[in-house]
Amino acid sequence: MTDIIDGNAVAAEVRTGLADAMDALADAGTTPCLATVLMSDDPASETYVSMKHNDCEEVGIEARDYEIDPEAPADELYATIDELNADPSVHGILVQMPLPDHVDEREVLRRVDPAKDVDGFHPENVGRLVAGHPRFKPCTPHGIQKLLASADVDTEGADAVVVGRSNIVGKPMANLLLQKSETGNATVTVCHSRTENLAEKTRAADIVVAAAGVPEMIDGEMLSEGCTVIDVGINRVEADTEKGYELVGDVAYESAKEKAGAITPVPGGVGPMTRAMLLWNTVKAAGDAEG
Ligand code: GUN
């Protein structure tokens, strides 16, 4: 029987687990506060930000919403970030990506106070993660660690293949799996669009993390019997539905399920965990600020 890893259930556990830290902060008179900054009129980005606000509300985190006209000069975004950095009542800052072309994304990542960088994208936080002493782990790979733990997947000595080399998922995931820790100690291979013989590599893996952004690129033929499959993909593909599209992962679910010992569905796998770990990081930021 294949274990279908229920991201909604694990995310709910993470949210419940935040209660103690929230209570301690409340005793100290602190309400954790996340500021989101949206400089886009992309409906998907708008939806992601509004879901983050709903999540915050659900656990008692204050969420502040900053919206900047996507046509506005980049300086307007930088000034907003500076203002939020200087505001002691704001503990976490999330600038929703992608940003308009005229904005220097790297400047944005550098500009957010690393102590408020709940995405974990600031170069200082990236460096700390790579060096093995993370402050904020990026939400998606952090959530995947929790999913693997929840499914009792032993990473120690396992052959893990990460498909995708993004700064948001692939690279931090590979680093976390590599770390000398309970949820690491794997032998990690990172594959990407220029990888030759991808199937050969995924077939040799005990754990496959699919984060390439290519719909259903990994199917059962590319997997070994009993492996663990984590599907990070959320791809909109045209379909005869009310919305005109459906969401599919980077994994061809039905065929992969036949081979895998454990697998995450899309939706309901990694997505809810990414959202839960943002809350986790925000509460951590508030706790760190409290001392
Ligand atoms: N856009 C897509 N994913 C993310 C994320 O994890 N953080 C931010 N800030 N923007 C995103």
5 has binding-site annotation: no
**Annotated active-site residue in 119, 206, 231, 250:** 119
| Model pLDDT for residues 252-289, shown as the tens digit of each residue | 999 999 999 999 999 999 999 999 999 999 999 999 99
Confirm whether 29-118 and 139-272 share one CATH topology. Answer: yes
Kindly tell me if the per-residue pLDDT of 291 is higher than 90: no
Q: Which residues pair with 67 in a beta bridge?
A: 38
Rounded to two decimals, the ipTM of the complex is: 0.96
| Model pLDDT for residues 101-151, shown as the tens digit of each residue | 999 999 999 999 999 999 999 999 999 999 999 999 999 999 999 999 999
The model scores a pTM over 0.80: yes
Distance CA 30, CA 24 (A): 9
Which runs of E-coded beta strand occur in 23-134?
33-38, 62-67, 92-95
128, 159 contact by CB (below 8 A): no
Which runs of E-coded beta strand occur in 108-157?
none
User: Catalytic: 52?
Assistant: yes
88, 289 contact by CB (below 8 A): yes
Tokens 């936080």 belong to which residue? 125
119 lines ligand 1 (CB under 6 A): yes
39 lines ligand 1 (CB under 6 A): no
The domain over range 139-272 is classified in CATH as 3.40.50.2000: no
Task: Please give the CATH number for the structural domain made up of 29-118.
Answer: 3.40.50.10860
Residue of 98, 104, 111 lying closest to 39 (CA atoms) = 98
164 has binding-site annotation: yes
Distance CA 281, CA 273 (A): 12
Residue of 29, 34, 3, 4 lying closest to 280 (CA atoms) = 34
φ, ψ at 104 (rounded to 5°) = -85, 105
- Compute CA distances 130 → 72, 134, 136, whole Å: 35, 8, 12
Question: Domain segments of the chain: what residues?
Answer: 29-118, 139-272
151 lines ligand 1 (CB under 6 A): no
